[in-house]
């Protein structure tokens, strides 16, 4: 196929990361903004010098993030837990959310109430408030959409970005990867408690949550930190019944990926096991200087590829 010129180019010709790069170029920023586009959350300076504000939005679209037949209460749970997972990945705590529901006038009231029941359940479980939101109609044949905006905060000393790891740091993941579509993607537990523990006890040099698959997300963390990476494929913890390829590219794991300087990593796994005896923690690789080649990885979730 002939290459499209820039006028007729479609998003599918560009891919998600290139689109985001294009759109975020030259965005106006306020002086309060310490971390803008490119991390799990935006980080804002507030009046309290020791505590930073976290700000995040995330949306779910019917037919993309869940099927039309999915249990609406689990969809509501997922909508809120996805942003909580992003707040967790910064080392922070969630506070208030605003919920945007866009749905056709023909939608059953009971379905919408069930979505909200799932949202409320997650809010109570993770101690967030629902401070408001909005309902909008969409044309009759359009998909249901839920967008959640969340405020959180993190002590300045515990803030964990993607961009601050160094070559030589070891890479860890929590839990097991792959096979999320079998159900976990609607029922996962955001690693809020684990991330807080890590921020307080392990001093990760970088952290993010795995939403698009390790094959997509690990290169992002490494690039943000100006590193390349070496992955140990035989060390990747696989969900039972799942292949290595699935673990790399299925996405929606909502586990934590983080880096730890080698000097701190020797005692960390034992302390982790004492704190979280059930949830595995696995060293899956290491960061290297940018001049070295990364383990080649392809696949993972791309909205526009």
Binding positions for a second copy, 108-127, rule CB under 8 A: 108-110, 112-113, 116, 120, 123-124, 127
**Residue list 31-70, contact with a second copy (CB under 8 A):** 32-33, 36-39, 41-42, 44, 46-48, 51, 53, 55-59, 61, 63-65
**Residue list 188-207, contact with a second copy (CB under 8 A):** none
Contact 211, 85 (CB under 8 A): yes
CA distance 58 to 82: 7
Pairing of strands 51-61, 145-155: antiparallel
Residue with tokens 């479980």: 125
The conformation of residue 205, written as its DSSP 8-state character, comes to S
* Identified binder of a second copy from the candidate list 21, 67, 129, 157, rule CB under 8 A: 129
CA distance 153 to 293: 36
CA distance 254 to 256: 7
Distance (Å) of CA 271 to CA 176, 192, 196, 257, 267: 19, 17, 14, 18, 7
Residue 13 C-beta: closest distance to a second copy, Å: 7
Is residue 3 within the footprint of a second copy (CB under 8 A)? no
**Count of positions on this chain that bind a second copy (CB under 8 A):** 85
Is residue 23 within the footprint of a second copy (CB under 8 A)? yes
Q: What interhelical angle do 192-201 and 72-89 show, nearest 10?
A: 10
* Identified binder of a second copy from the candidate list 1, 2, 3, 6, rule CB under 8 A: 6
Is residue 220 within the footprint of a second copy (CB under 8 A)? no
Instruction: Give the nearer residue to a second copy in terms of CB position, either 14 or 279.
Output: 14
The two structure tokens encoding residue 86: 């992003």
Residue 40 C-beta: closest distance to a second copy, Å: 10
* Identified binder of a second copy from the candidate list 2, 3, 8, 278, rule CB under 8 A: 8
Is residue 106 within the footprint of a second copy (CB under 8 A)? yes
CA distance 151 to 87: 8
**Residue list 132-191, contact with a second copy (CB under 8 A):** 132-139, 141-143, 145, 147, 149, 151
Is residue 102 within the footprint of a second copy (CB under 8 A)? yes
């Amino acid at each position: 196929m002939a290459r499209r010129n820039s006028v007729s180019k479609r998003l599918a010709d560009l891919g998600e990361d290139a689109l985001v790069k294009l759109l975020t170029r030259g965005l106006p920023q306020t002086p309060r903004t310490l971390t803008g586009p490119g991390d799990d959350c935006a980080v804002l300076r507030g009046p309290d010098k020791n505590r930073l504000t976290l700000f995040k939005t995330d949306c779910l679209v019917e037919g993309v993030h869940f099927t039309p037949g999915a249990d609406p209460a689990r969809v509501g749970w997922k909508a809120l837990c996805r942003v909580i997972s992003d707040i967790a990945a910064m080392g922070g705590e969630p506070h208030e959310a605003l919920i945007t529901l866009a749905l056709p006038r023909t939608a059953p009231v009971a379905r919408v109430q069930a979505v909200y029941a799932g949202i409320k359940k997650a809010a109570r479980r993770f101690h967030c408030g629902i401070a408001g939101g909005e309902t909008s109609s969409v044309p009759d044949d359009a998909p249901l959409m839920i967008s959640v905006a969340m405020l959180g905060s993190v002590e300045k000393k515990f803030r964990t970005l993607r961009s601050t790891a160094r070559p030589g740091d070891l890479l860890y993941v929590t839990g097991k990867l792959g096979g999320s579509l079998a159900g976990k993607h609607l029922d996962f537990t955001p690693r809020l408690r684990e991330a807080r523990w890590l921020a307080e006890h392990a001093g990760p040099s970088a952290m993010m949550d795995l939403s698009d698959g390790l094959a997509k997300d690990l290169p992002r963390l490494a690039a943000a930190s100006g590193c390349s990476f070496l992955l140990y494929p035989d060390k990747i913890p696989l969900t039972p019944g799942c292949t290595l390829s699935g673990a790399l590219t299925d996405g929606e794991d909502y586990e934590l990926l983080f880096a730890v300087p080698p000097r701190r990593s020797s005692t960390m796994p034992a302390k982790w096991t004492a704190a979280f005896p059930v949830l595995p923690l696995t060293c899956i690789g290491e960061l290297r200087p940018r001049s070295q080649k990364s383990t080649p990885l392809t696949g993972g979730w791309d909205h526009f590829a």
